[in-house]
Amino acid sequence: MTDSKGREATGFQEQAPYDETIDLRTDFVMVYGLNDSTAQRIARWRDAGYRVQLMTGISWGNYQDYLDGRWDGSDHWADTQTAGDGSPILHGHSTDIPYMVPTFGFTEYLVQKLRPILEFGVEGIHLEEPEFWARAGYSESFKREWQAYFGEPWQAPHSTAEAHFRSGQLKQHLLSRSLDRVTSVLRDEALQQGRQVRFYVPTHSLLNYTQWQIVSPESRLRTLPSIDGAIAQVWTGTARTPNVYAGKVAERTFETAYLEYGIAQDLTRGTDRRMWFLHDPIEDHPDRTWEDYLANYRRTLIASLLHPGVSRYEVAPWPNRIFNRPYPREGSTGRQPIPPETATSYLIAMNSLRDLDQPDVRRSADGPRIGIALSDTAMFQRWSPGGESGHYDGLQDALALEGREQLHFSDFYGLALPPLYDGQQVVPVQLENVLDTPGALDAVDVLVLSYEFQKPLAPGIHYALAGWVARGGSLLYVGDDADPYHEIRSWWTGRYATCADHLAEALSADRAHDGVQAIGRGGVRFLPTRPADFTASPERAAELVAALRELAEAAGHRWKPSNWLSVQRGPYLIGAVLEESGGTQVIEGNYLDLLDPHLGIVHHRELGPGDLTWLRDLTYDSEPLLASAGRVIDWQQTETGIRFACEAPRGVQVVTALRLASAPTTIQADGATLTTTRYDAEAGVLWLHHPGTPAGTQLTIDF
């Protein structure tokens, strides 16, 4: 395990002041929020040895001085995102923190508000969650922006499908415009001062924003010149949003997270920009149990590790709420602090994440790689004429909500879950990327596309898809033309009945043909079915799988059903048994269990439906440091012994596993004999146990 501070492999965000109990010893910290304590908090984290960055919300935050007129003498409540009943849309449970319309005035306020941050010497600025609610669009400022953007009078966003779609286009434009202005101005001012400051956007996945009915820039982040990367804010709170498979509504945290992390990669894939995957050991909902938090954290953790294209991680937002707040435990009353073994388990994972940049990657499956096309425009269609969008932000119990069928986003999950539960390599892909990234579909063998919940913004998308198919790709188009959004004014209207007809023309294919049509070296098939229908029953899910299999096998791919998703990343084996696929998976070998707070040895393990695993193969290499709940630094090894320091938050019980050919003669921690050790001669593994301290425990092992 190599030190990664220069690579900024791991970090976390925190708004609380520095405290040794939340000093996770990652590569960097994102100090959160702008207030009178920001400078002091930045200085204190820097004194603790961190590379320091700053994070703040760009669509919501403590911006009351702008709203109430203290900033410039004018009231700006007209710049808040407003629902149809005239009420401002508020963030979480707040009463005075609304979501903002990113007008020119508010954007200039953000520039001036952030400008002093440049003096604090931070290395990066994170402008998180550029968000505009689908049910918003009724404020006076939004009405003016509509007139300026479209050159026509404002229309109530929920009056027609077209008005709602255009409202989404405008919302994305305003958010992108504001981000571009803020980052470009501040970057230029930093350069004038002789400093390089990087700008990042922490954002939910396109899949989650669409499901939660929120508009965000998403694919636009790839083209804004002053954006250096993103954090994929995927966590338990987003991934446990219910969906439907085989007629059953349920939380599918692992599968949803797997798809969310999959689409998030396309924010930076093929560019030189950075991407971090977020994990959250707690989530925003404050009333779940420690056992629930841990189980769902592991589901998102393993889902992220199954995407080896990303090896940087935000290991936690708000460690203060993890390590210093009480939560319920199953089977007991009242709230309790974090269980010691849970804290150790979290830290083992957080420290092991620094070692995931492994060049040797091997997958268990060798079948076709299936992409599910997802467009930004899906965010613009999250409303049905005569329907009600409602409001869901992860703080409610979604399974207890009535009448929330639209939240399920069944048109997408109807396409993605059936092949995923068949054990295939399924990854959503950003449709817009095919326009400016020639290799956008290089990792896809079969692409599933529907225009029943999204639309192509430009005809060039179809020409790019036609070229990909002609070169050997396989395309399955699913749609029955029933979506009312086919009737909106756009580039295809007046010439084609639907945009799918233009797709068929670009492919030189016949939409009425039943079966696979050969196109160049590839093939296409049209299924005249509503995508959501494939969620209705196991039989309907099997119909989609059969169509995909026929298309894949026609292209020469080998299709093998499985209940097991796994990847080997260097010495690390990561895997999951798909819960609704049934069956078991047996693992045999010589492994260290990274999900075990004791770092136990595994020789044989049978995994059942829903079980997860993250193991370190002890036969892969001869690396002496195997795993630790602390950060190991200053490693020195000679023929007679090993010296190193182990840094960890105060209060955590640290376990470290080392590979040793024989039992040591003496072990000392900070100069005193360490008695909490164990050596397994057969495995050749030594375990050390000691309390954590950010200053580092000095360990000496003599042979």
Q: pLDDT, tens digit, for every residue of 615-631?
A: 999 999 999 999 999 99
Q: Are 574 and 561 in contact (CB under 8 A)?
A: no
Residue 308, C-beta contacts closer than 8 angstroms, at least 6 positions apart: 356, 358, 361, 567, 569
The residue-averaged pLDDT of 196-214 equals: 97
Question: Please, which pLDDT band fits residue 497 given cuts at 50, 70 and 90?
Answer: very high
pLDDT for the residue numbered 294: 98
Q: Decide: helix, strand or coil at residue 12.
A: strand
- Least confident residue range of 388-402, 411-425, 582-596: 388-402
Q: Give the other-Cβ count within 10 Å of 329's Cβ.
A: 16
pLDDT for the residue numbered 3: 59
| Strand (E) or helix (H) holding 419 | helix 410-421
Share the mean pLDDT of the chain: 95
CATH topology of domain 8-74+97-133+171-360: TIM Barrel (3.20.20)
- Least confident residue range of 401-405, 459-463, 590-594: 401-405
pLDDT for the residue numbered 530: 98
Check whether 388 has a pLDDT greater than 80.
no
CATH architecture of 625-702: Sandwich (2.60)
The residue-averaged pLDDT of 238-260 equals: 96
Using one digit for the tens of pLDDT, what is the confidence trace for 661-682? 999 999 999 999 999 999 999 9
Q: Are 168 and 215 in contact (CB under 8 A)?
A: yes
Q: Decide: helix, strand or coil at residue 388.
A: coil
pLDDT for the residue numbered 37: 95
Listed residue (557, 562, 363, 550) closest to 445, CA to CA: 557
DSSP 8-state code for residue 368: -
Check whether 386 has a pLDDT greater than 70.
no
Number of H helices, E strands in the chain: 15, 35
Distances (CA, A) of 645 to 668, 670, 685, 691: 11, 9, 19, 13
Sketch the domain layout of the chain as residue ranges.
8-74+97-133+171-360, 369-554, 564-617, 625-702
Question: Please, which pLDDT band fits residue 555 given cuts at 50, 70 and 90?
Answer: very high
Q: Give the other-Cβ count within 10 Å of 96's Cβ.
A: 12
DSSP-derived secondary structure for 565-615: EEEEETTEEEEEE-GGG---EEEEEEEEETTSTT--EEEEEEE-TT-EEEE
Residue type, 286: P
Check whether 403 has a pLDDT greater than 60.
no
Does the domain spanning 369-554 belong to CATH 3.30.310?
no
Residue 400, C-beta contacts closer than 8 angstroms, at least 6 positions apart: none
pLDDT for the residue numbered 406: 77
- CB-based burial of residue 331 (10 Å sphere; 0-12 exposed, 13-18 middle, 19+ buried)? exposed
Please calculate the CA angle 500-503-507 and round it to the nearest 5 degrees.
Answer: 145
pLDDT for the residue numbered 395: 72
Question: Please, which pLDDT band fits residue 596 given cuts at 50, 70 and 90?
Answer: very high
pLDDT for the residue numbered 444: 97
Using CA of residue 615, residue 344, residue 317, residue 186, what is the dihedral sign? negative
Identical fold between 369-554 and 625-702:
no
Q: For residues 113 and 682, give the distance between their C-alpha atoms in angstroms, rounded to a whole number.
A: 61
pLDDT for the residue numbered 95: 81
pLDDT for the residue numbered 93: 77
Distances (CA, A) of 682 to 336, 616, 674: 39, 17, 22
Using one digit for the tens of pLDDT, what is the confidence trace for 295-341? 999 999 999 999 999 999 999 999 999 999 999 999 888 999 999 99
Q: For residues 391 and 178, give the distance between their C-alpha atoms in angstroms, rounded to a whole number.
A: 25
Using one digit for the tens of pLDDT, what is the confidence trace for 59-110? 998 899 999 999 999 999 999 999 999 999 998 877 889 999 999 999 999 9
Q: For residues 260 and 240, give the distance between their C-alpha atoms in angstroms, rounded to a whole number.
A: 11
Parallel/antiparallel/unpaired status of strands 313-317 and 274-278: parallel
